[in-house]
Amino acid sequence: MTLHVKRAFKYRFYPTDEQEAELARTFGCVRLVYNKALEERTRAWRGEQRRMTYVQSSASLTEWKRAGELAFLRDVSSVPLQQALRHLQTAFTNFFAQRAKYPRYKSRKKSRASAEYTRSAFTWRGGRLTLAKMTAPLDIRWSRPLPDDTEPTTVTVSRDSAGRWFVSMLCSDRVAPAAVTADAVGIDAGITSLVALSTGEKVSNPRYERRDRGRLAKAQRQLSRRAKGSANREKARRRVARVHARISDRRKDFLHKLSTRLVRENQTVVIEDLAVRSLIKNHSLARAISDASWAQLRSMLEYKCAWYGRELVVIDRCFPSSKLCGACGIVRESLLLSTREWTCRCGTVHDRDVNAARNILAAGLAASACGGDVRPQRESSRTGRSSMKQESRRATVGLPRLRAGEDAKPCVVPLSGTSQV
């Protein structure tokens, strides 16, 4: 069954001098409106314990346009300004729902320069895009075609820190599900090997940041020598930004190819729920973990599995995948990070990463079949032993545990099997 999705297509474009000036003014007005609305809502909450709505912020925007010192807000399209208020409303909704921190002010130097245009603020005619307040269409480099018989509903124009201009078009698209296959794969993320698969394959980590570390250090040294506020300092800053952009683009391209391959080849993909924010607090590994970009890989797997009719299973981060013997089910008491290969008491020699990937797959298949959680046994011990010691005795930690209120379902899945369900 074909799936109808909203899909963004991003292209690079080259504005004329007039278009660049108009977009720069729009970016500045969007940032100003966002910050003023945030300031007003913060003052209302802290001073009067009153929550402001989007409608009230929109009325304030109308008053600002009438004021003499902010009359320049009328020179740009009103749609990006209204969209900025909607984004602020979303930020506050996420904050009050405890999904995000309190909204922060947008910085001219650090925040992303962007403006969002809805259907009433741009013209799409003959495959050419013209934004409001502009007379000529954008000079877009069409790296891939838009879906047939569709038009963009929302257009977002942005400029990155390297000075490159991009336009992102949100369109309705039809995605055909991939051919059904019986294969399943467990994925163990790492640093030396970006991922180890339950099939025994290891995908090496390209380490794009480490490859360009010398180039980046040289550009940063040149930046530090330039006088603040000078034109040469801005040129040096652009050179640093271009190195960062090169690293980011190459990493994203590699992750897209890897995630697409994994989704196309397997019906079920099983991964671990890694706490990346906590892991990067380790200053010895923070740079390598950030370069690996595990969170970005997971995000790609999530939406691609949804698009192509695949199942993505995420097991609990406390599951001892590396310390669990996939042959006999015994869990080791401890396993140093430097230990890449270990021998179980049953005599089985394990590659740490491949063994973890196979255990992840077995646990994920068990959870998928039984509909429960995969997490270690944490109940108090009747014998007085600690829960961790009980975990290390048998591999019952690998079986799914039902949440409270769920009906028990018969399920027998051996941990040593990777395709038995």
Instruction: Name residues whose C-beta falls within 8 Å of residue 322's C-beta, 6 or more positions apart in sequence.
Output: 188, 335, 352, 353, 355, 356
Quick one: which H or E segment has residue 184?
A: strand 184-189
List, in sequence order, the alpha helices (H) in 49-100: 54-66, 78-96
Active-site residue flag, 63: no
Residue 168 near residue 158 (C-beta atoms within 8 A): yes
Considering the candidates 188, 209, 291, 391, report the single residue annotated as catalytic: 188
Which burial class, exposed, middle or buried, applies to 152 when counting CB atoms under 10 A from its CB (0-12, 13-18, 19+)? buried
Q: What are phi and psi of 207, to 5 degrees?
A: 50, 60
CA-based R_g, the chain, Å: 26
Considering the candidates 209, 291, 353, 391, report the single residue annotated as catalytic: 353
Active-site residue flag, 188: yes
Instruction: Name residues whose C-beta falls within 8 Å of residue 62's C-beta, 6 or more positions apart in sequence.
Output: none
Active-site residue flag, 302: no
Distance CA 402, CA 397 (A): 12
**How big is the CA angle at 119 (ends 115 and 124), to the nearest 5 degrees?**
100
Instruction: Name residues whose C-beta falls within 8 Å of residue 124's C-beta, 6 or more positions apart in sequence.
Output: 151, 152
- Measured CA to CA in angstroms, residue 357 lies from 65, 190, 200, 290, 396 at distances of 59, 11, 8, 21, 18
Q: What are phi and psi of 157, to 5 degrees?
A: -100, 135
**Percent of the chain that is helix, strand, coil (3-state, to 5):** 45, 20, 40
Considering the candidates 116, 173, 209, 272, report the single residue annotated as catalytic: 272
Query: Active-site positions?
Result: 188, 272, 353
